[in-house]
Structures are given as structure tokens and as C-alpha cells.
Amino acid sequence: MMRRIVLLSLIGMLLLSSALIQPVAAQTTLRVLVHQNPPMVEFMEAFNQQFQEQHPDIVVDMSVVNANDLSTVTQTRLSANDIDVIDMFGFANAVQPYMVDVDPPNWQQLADAGLLMDLTDQPFVANYDAATIADAGTYNDRVYAINLGRVSYSGIYYNRDLFAANNVTVPTTWSELVQACETFNAAGIPCMTAGGRDGWPIFVGAYGLIGALYPDQAALVEGLWTGTITWNDEAALVMWSRMQIYARDMIEPGASGIAADAAPGRFASGAVAMFPGGTWYAPAIEAAEPEFEWGYIPFPGSENVEDNQYLFGKYDQGWAVAANTPNAEAALLYLEVFSDPENYQAFVNAVGFIPTQPTAQLNTQLGEEVAPYLANFRVGYEQYWVAPRGVGQYANPWASYFQPFGTFDDPQALADTVQADLQSGLDAVGS
Amino acid sequence: MTYHFGRGRSRWLPYLLLLPGIIAYFVVALGPSLATAVFSFTDATGLPGAPVNWVGLDNYREFLFLGQAARDNLNAVGRTLIFCFFVTTIQFALGLLVAVILNQKLRGRNFFRTLYFMPVILGAVIQGLIWSLFLYPLGGPLAEFLAIFGVRSEFLGAQPTEAFAWVIVVQIWANMGTTMIIFLAGLQTISAEYYEAARIDGANRWQVFANITWPLLTPSVNTNLLLNVIGSLQAWQLFLVLLGYRNGTQVLGYLIYATGFGQTSGSVTSSFRQGYAAAASIVMFVMVLVIGMTVQTILRRREARIMG
């Protein structure tokens, strides 16, 4: 009898509980991949929080990887169908008709393999300006990415207080820049810093020098491919000589140990006078030292002031969606909410990108600094260049080949090596 | 004949028990290795859905003969051999020295054994982080110490030769514990009676080492040499963590990783070339096989001569 009572009680409780408990809504876990950029990651964490509150049925699982590892992780996670929304870099340098026997850049390989979702008909695409969608999101007439902003990497941040204290005027020509560095070095103040531990900040820091001497970078790439321009001609030798001065005399000793993420903090600490770097560093500089007084100028790589009025750069981060995602609806909703003009404006404010939505404005100090040059913004060499197979390891215009970062101390020897390394690839593909 | 597992169907039991291991070996080791060999004749990108075309020997031709890149690849092969030589010899000698010392009755020897072995259990990322901090050129411990003598260096960011030498140092530091432990195990198998007899015969320390310890350590010597040679030929993680893709420092293992996963341009816009990387892997496999087999043959002959 007792057993029967217990059994009936249990059944009753079970029925009651099943009636009382609301069915739990199935949650979607949206997997998002971004590269390491502290202000952007901070913004994305806040955005994800807000997105989850608005859409409690979606949990955002965001992974952050080093920029150097982004393509590797993108490949492996796409292969494993383990990612929904992907941070796409450099959706620009498609293979041009004059390029022979090259491997397409990784974004093109992803699109060709059918791994990126076609976003052409998504309403949020219209929030971005048409030129950006065409230049940095469209391939074979289909839209595969929305680009979130342009950045310049050819400028120099300068410390206003140190410039004033040492009676140095803001340089507008190469000679003035050299003179400024000599003044700072004589005063025991390192002229420039850079995040040399990650490698690329050293040569990217000098991209402005290439831009000042080769203002039309698309023509430069075509010229190198077709042989009308060489890396050891007269104009190039000027570039190499200046790059040597930049690497040897301008960048502070020990910069090779500074991580890319740490360099803005070192500049903001007031330890160095200048910091050649991309506009994406501005939020990190402001966060490190809010009271710090800084300015931003195009790299004065030419003796002609007019040539130093351009900012060269690239389309930076963009969003793409995995074609085979099981969470397509959530992924598209995520992009739609992100692309809302109000949210996008907040993103631009936080990250410092030059906006790619026509209604957004860069309302920051960086915005004020770059405003005079925005009309002169140009896409840089790196975004056009695709190397032929067989090129040697020195076939790039990189200041980091010079001592103390590399082995070369003679501009002519380096120029000849770079051209020979490039030519061997061009010869190999019969270009 | 008595059979351990009985007769009839029971005779298949050992094979049945071996089956999971064999399947795991095929799936995890042999299968991917064979697939790599096949991929090396294709233009595979490693992306699902991307077309894979048979390209014959093109990848090998490109790796070994196409343009300056081929010469750079061969330089990486040379650098791999240099890395192997220095890591093997120094790690072997240091491991032996430390093992012999820590085989004595010393106070705190267990602490020191643990201390020397500890780097082995840290992953390459942690090892790299420790050394990046230690070698930080702007106020790092070694930079500060050298500054006392007026010496300064960029260490890992220095000239490729110096940066490469630092990776050798870190590789040895990271793996010397394994060498030491294998030698310690070997030393502890040598009977104390041999040493006692030698002392009674008036042998000095060097004579004891040369005529008793060294010959009787032959199995440990062989194991360590083979492990060191093969391990250093295949090394790549510390190059990635400490140096990244930097001209004049790549070894073959890292070159393969960088090529396969699109990291060769120094920027984020390079290509995925797993077919080509697979061909480079096969080149490395052949190199490891030839060197490994040669070393093993020499060591076996030596072992046969010494141990009888």
C-alpha cells in the first residue's frame, strides 16, 4: 500500500512539474572569429552582450586570434564547419589580368571554394557605400563581405609636447623628418618606436615612404609585373636609401622586442617622439594615456611637400558568413544588427576606422587629424600585390631587410637582391 | 605447442585486442602520412569544396628548382641540418653531464632532477613566452645584465644568425630534461659492483666513465641520439613562437607550416597551398628517413661491437 502511495505521489509530482516548467527555448550558439585588436575586441564584447540581451535565444561565442594566425584559423575552422561569422582581412588584391601563374589570395580561394555565403541580396549591404562594397566585398559580381572601415598605415603619430619642448616643427618633407630625428636623438630621446617583435610593424611603418615616391600604387604593381619599374632603378634607390635611414637611425634600438600591441602604449608613455603606424592604433594610444597630446601626419617620404599629402592604406576588417553554417539566420541577424547605422557609428568611434557607411563620421581626435587628407586617401601597394611563384624571400619593398632588423647595410646591394629575387619569379612564370 | 590464449576461436583474441591500436595507428598516423604523399601530387588548398587537381611532380619541381624560392628552400634545408647538428650534440652532451652529476648522492638531487626536467612539460607557447620576456631588449633581465658590461643586443630581433642561435639555445633548454631522464634511467641500470671492482683495481674517475659507464650506457646513447636527431630535424614550433616568418631563419619544418597555412608573405593576404606544403613535407620525410636510418645503422653496429 505504502509503495503504491509513493509511486502515485512521484507520478503526480512529475506531471505537475512538467506542466509548470516552461519549455526551454532552443539556444543557438553563434560562433564569431575576430583578430586581436584591443579596442575592436573590447567593442565587440560589449556589442555581443547587447546583442544577446536583445536576442536571448542566441549565445555569441567569440574567438580572438592574433592577426598573423587569422588565415590559418579561418581555414581550419571553416574546414571543420566550426565557425559562422568570420573576420575577413584584405578583401582587395584580386589577381589582375597581367599576373601570370599566381596563387590567388586566401579570400579569393575561400570564395572560389564556395565557403563564403553570398550576401548580395541582404538588405544590410545597402547600409555601406557602394564603392566599398565593390572594392572590398565583391567578387565575380557577388557580394561576399561587408567591409567595416578603411585604415591608413602610412602616417606617423607625433608627441606634441616633445615637439614643442625641443623646438621641432612638424616635418613636411623627408629632410625635415631626418632633421627632427637628429634633434631628438641628440637630446637623448628616441625618435621613433614600432612593434618589431611581430615583424610587420617595421616594414608597414615605412609604407608611407613607398607611397610618397610612388603615389599610384596600382601602377607600381603593374609596372613591377611588366618590367617598366624595377626595385633597383634610380627612383627605387632613393627609396632604399631612405628606408635604411628609417631602420637604422630613426627606429629606437630595442624596438625588435616590442610587441605590436605594446607599441602604442610605449608611444603614449612619452618615451619616444614619433610612432609610424596605422590609424587603428589611435584608440589604444588614447586608452593608454587619455591626457596625452598627439597628432597624426602622412609620412613625409618625399622632398616635395605636395607628394606628402596622401594617406595610403587598406580596407581593414570585414564580416563574411560561412556558406555552410547551420546558424545562417542568426549569423545574418548578427550582421544586420551590427550594420545598423547607430551601432556602426559606435563601432567607428571605438575602433577609429575611416567609415564605410556614408552616414557615419569619425568623431574622434583621429578623425580631426586625418580629415585634411581623407580626400587623398589611396589604397596601398600591399593591397594590390600578388607575387609570382618562384620569387625569392627578399622580393618585397621592406625596410626591415636593413640592419639592425635584417642583414643588409648597403642600399644598392639590397636593391639588386630584391630585384633579382622578384625577377627570378617573373622569369619562372615567363612574364 | 601450448598457446597462451587457448585453441579455436580464442586464438584470435590477441589480434582482436590489437585491433583498436592498429586502427588508431592507421587513422591517426599512417593514413594522414599516406594522404600527405598523395596530396603532394595535387594542387590541394586544404579547403573543403575547392577543386583538387593532379599536378604530377610540379610541386616537387617548384620546391626544388623554381626560381630563387627554390634556392631559399634549399637554404632552409641547410639551416635545418645546422640546427640538428648543434641541438643534437649540445643537448646530448649537456644531458649526459647533468645525468651523471645527478646520479651521485647529492643533497637535493630530486629537486634538481625536477628542475631540469620541468621545461619539458611546458608547451612551446609557454617556453617561447618565458624566453621572449627573458630576452626582452628594452630592460629585460639579460639585457640589463649585459648592460653592466656595456654590451647590448636585440636577441631574438637581432641579425638572423644570432636569432637562430637563440632558438637553438631555447630548443636545448626545452628538451634537455628528456635526454637527462633517459641517461639517468640508463645509469641506474648499471650495477654498483662494476664500479666497486674498478675502484679496487685503482681506476680513476675518467677511466671508470670511459670503460664502464659509457659502454654500458650504449642503449641510452642510441635512444637519445635518435630522438635528438629526429626531433631537431622536425622542429618548427619554437621558430613560430620566437621568430615568426623571418628571412634567414626558417628551417624546413616551419617553412612547411608557413606555406601550408598561408603565412609566407608576412602579411595576411597569402595563399593556402597544402599540396605544395605536402611536397615539402615529403622532402623533409626523406631527409629524416635517410639521416635517421644512417644514424641508426651506425649506432646498431656500435652497440653490437660493444655489447656483443
Shared domain for A280 and A407, answered yes or no, is yes
Contact between residue A179 and residue A350 where contact means Cβ atoms under 8 Å apart? no
Peptide bond connecting A404 to the previous residue in cis, omega within 30 degrees of 0: yes
CA distance B54 to B58: 9
The pLDDT of residue B270 is above 70:
no
Least confident residue range of A72-76, B54-58, B109-113, B291-295: A72-76
C-alpha cell at A333: 541577424
A13 confidence band (pLDDT: 50, 70, 90): low
Q: Chain B residues with CB inside 8 Å of A404's CB? A: 154, 157-159
The amino acid at residue B126 is: I
CA distance B61 to B277: 13
* CB within 8 Å: B159 and A404: yes
Contact between residue A123 and residue A345 where contact means Cβ atoms under 8 Å apart? no
Contact between residue B43 and residue B55 where contact means Cβ atoms under 8 Å apart? yes
Containing A37, the helix (H) or strand (E) segment is none
- Search chain A and give the residue with CA nearest B139: A254
Shared domain for A41 and A121, answered yes or no, is yes
* CB within 8 Å: A254 and B143: yes
Shared domain for A161 and A285, answered yes or no, is yes
For B237-247, b/e burial (b = at least 16 CB within 10 A) is bbbbbbbbbbb
CA distance A108 to A95: 9
A90 confidence band (pLDDT: 50, 70, 90): low
A370 lies in a domain? Answer: yes
CA angle in degrees (0–180, nearest 5) for B215-B218-B221: 125
Higher-scoring residue by pLDDT: A241, A96: A241
The amino acid at residue B228 is: N
ipTM: 0.81
If we measure between CA atoms, which residue out of B29, B90, B78 comes closest to residue B224? B90
Contacts of A194 by beta carbon, 8 Å cutoff, 6+ apart = A201, A202, A205, A251, A255, A258, A263, A275, A276, A277
SS3 assignment, position A328: helix
A4 lies in a domain? Answer: no
Q: Chain A residues with CB inside 8 Å of B46's CB? A: 75, 79
CA angle in degrees (0–180, nearest 5) for A244-A245-A246: 90
Domain with residue A327: its CATH number is: 3.40.190.10
Shared domain for A45 and A90, answered yes or no, is yes
Give the CATH number of domain B40-307.
Answer: 1.10.3720.10
Contact between residue A241 and residue A224 where contact means Cβ atoms under 8 Å apart? no
- The beta-carbon neighbor of A90 closest among B49, B156, B268 is B268
Closest-CA distance of chain B to residue A114, Å: 7
* CB within 8 Å: A254 and B269: no
- The beta-carbon neighbor of B272 closest among A106, A203, A393 is A106
Contact between residue A31 and residue A84 where contact means Cβ atoms under 8 Å apart? yes
Mean predicted confidence (pLDDT) in B24-46? 93
Q: Chain A residues with CB inside 8 Å of B158's CB? A: 256, 404
A20 lies in a domain? Answer: no
- Provide the Cα torsion B170, B265, A217, A364; round to 10°: -60
* CB within 8 Å: B248 and A424: no
Residue A431: what pLDDT?
Answer: 61
CA distance B33 to B39: 10
A136 lies in a domain? Answer: yes
CA distance B172 to A384: 42
Give which of A33, A75, A325 to mutate to test B binding, by max B Cβ within 10 Å: A75
* CB within 8 Å: B265 and A387: yes
- Search chain A and give the residue with CA nearest B61: A390
The amino acid at residue B216 is: L
Q: What is the pLDDT of residues A377-430, one digit of tens each?
A: 888 888 888 888 889 989 999 999 999 888 999 999 999 999 999 999 999 877
Q: What is the pLDDT of residues A100-146, one digit of tens each?
A: 888 888 888 899 899 999 999 999 999 999 988 988 899 999 999 99
- Provide the Cα torsion A223, A225, A228, A229; round to 10°: 70
Shared domain for A290 and A422, answered yes or no, is yes
Shared domain for A111 and A243, answered yes or no, is no
Residue A33: what pLDDT?
Answer: 96
Residue A18: what pLDDT?
Answer: 56
Mean predicted confidence (pLDDT) in A314-341? 95
SS3 assignment, position B96: helix
Q: What is the mean pLDDT of chain B?
A: 91
Tabulate helix, strand, coil % of chain B (nearest 5): 75, 0, 25
Domain that holds residue A176: 156-309+389-428
Structural domain tally of chain A? Answer: 2
Shared domain for A348 and A333, answered yes or no, is yes
Q: Chain A residues with CB inside 8 Å of B246's CB? A: 199
A292 lies in a domain? Answer: yes
- Search chain B and give the residue with CA nearest A92: B269
The residue ranges of every structural domain in chain B are 40-307
Shared domain for A347 and A301, answered yes or no, is no
The side-by-side arrangement of strands in the sheet containing A85-88 is A58-65, A28-35, A85-88, A318-321, A146-147
Shared domain for A132 and A219, answered yes or no, is no
Q: What is the pLDDT of residues A353-373, one digit of tens each?
A: 889 999 998 888 888 888 888
* CB within 8 Å: A257 and B48: no
Q: What is the pLDDT of residues A47-62, one digit of tens each?
A: 999 999 999 999 999 9
* CB within 8 Å: B247 and A78: no
Shared domain for A165 and A75, answered yes or no, is no
Shared domain for A324 and A414, answered yes or no, is no
A266 lies in a domain? Answer: yes
* CB within 8 Å: A424 and B245: no
The pLDDT of residue A296 is above 80:
yes
Beta-sheet pairing, A318-321 with A146-147 = antiparallel
Contacts of A188 by beta carbon, 8 Å cutoff, 6+ apart = none
Contacts of B88 by beta carbon, 8 Å cutoff, 6+ apart = B225, B228, B229, B232
Q: What is the pLDDT of residues A106-116, one digit of tens each?
A: 888 899 899 99
Shared domain for A170 and A286, answered yes or no, is yes
* CB within 8 Å: A427 and B67: yes
If we measure between CA atoms, which residue out of B168, B179, B175 comes closest to residue B118? B175
Contact between residue B143 and residue B153 where contact means Cβ atoms under 8 Å apart? yes
Contacts of B181 by beta carbon, 8 Å cutoff, 6+ apart = B99, B113, B117
Q: What is the pLDDT of residues A160-218, one digit of tens each?
A: 999 999 999 999 999 999 999 999 999 999 999 999 888 889 988 899 899 989 999 99
Domain boundary among A347, A362, A381: A381
Higher-scoring residue by pLDDT: A265, A198: A265
* CB within 8 Å: A79 and B271: no
C-alpha dist (Å) from residue A26 to A81, A213, A342, B237: 20, 58, 29, 41
- Search chain A and give the residue with CA nearest B137: A254
C-alpha cell at A79: 574546414
A37 confidence band (pLDDT: 50, 70, 90): confident
SS3 assignment, position B203: coil
Higher-scoring residue by pLDDT: B120, B139: B120
